Homo-oligomer: A and B are copies of this chain.
């Protein structure tokens, strides 16, 4: 299933190659900032029913590739389909974050299934199958899941929570129960990613959006080790599986993460110091990132300067241009066009 890797720019970078024109895609490139997304969104009852409608989810995945010519399409879905497929109730209210039945104490873990329900996820695999033959030949199809720590923060808090206090406290107070939840998520995520590869994705990204709130020792236990187990087990089932890690906010812990986790590339958030990233991260592995999504929203000179600084920092090595987090809903489409033009013009001139 990894045929064609030689001709797809993103897969070439994941193999360690430096390209004069770095491939470009954006986290949350499919979404509310696009008028064509908003018009499809109206056709689905809820956000989750859109994720689970293969026809609509495939269309939404393709929209930004069609409009902007990105080098990758990322499956339109959500990291919380995994708790859903483990039997936890998950809903998304419009304009608010997700809502889950919070796992308030160790006993609540009994409510979860022992393994992931692939029937519940069948529409996701069908979306991937539909996308497989619809993408331009140079475009890479990326699947994803949330990292166990990040998914657990939502499962325990019942939604987003400032600094993930409920999950951090649960882990301190009930380390064995928390380890059991993480182990369940390691297995579920490995299974889920393997099925995504079998359905047709060519690379996956593991989103650890809340990696940045943990002390070093907890980060090692709840982020690094579980992700290392996922990547190891996934490669056993899907030899050569390409994986991008995105431990947002890991900062000074990134070298430890890369020493332990065999990802092919690492996504950098927008706060990392660029010379540190070049010398201590890109020297080890291809990097992806890391434009501030607010610079993209603001546009103008702020955007141009931020794009230039990133190209300057990372163009000397294997590099995928991306944001440092997802596209914000109020982002003007014209700013995305300006970004792509600038990346392609500036980098080509080197």
Contacts and interface: CB of A to CB of B under 8 A. Distances in A.
A108 interface: no
A287 to B, nearest CB: 13
A157 to B, nearest CB: 13
A292 B215 contact: yes
A297 B252 contact: no
Interface string A179-196: 000000000000000000
A290 to B, nearest CB: 8
Nearest to A291: B215
A218 B290 CA distance: 14
Interface stretch (A57-65, A69-77, A301-309): A301-309
Contacts of A213: 271
A43 B172 CA distance: 36
Contacts of A277: 252
Contacts of A122: none
Copies per assembly: 2
B272 A175 contact: no
A223 to B, nearest CB: 11
A350 B175 CA distance: 29
Nearest to A168: B294
A104 interface: no
A284 interface: no
A271 B212 contact: yes
A272 B305 CA distance: 28
Interface string A259-273: 000000000001111
Given A216-B274, A217-B309, A175 B302 contact: yes
Please provide the 5 A-B residue pairs with the shortest distance between their CB atoms, ordered closest to farther: A251-B251, A172-B298, A172-B302, A252-B273, A252-B276
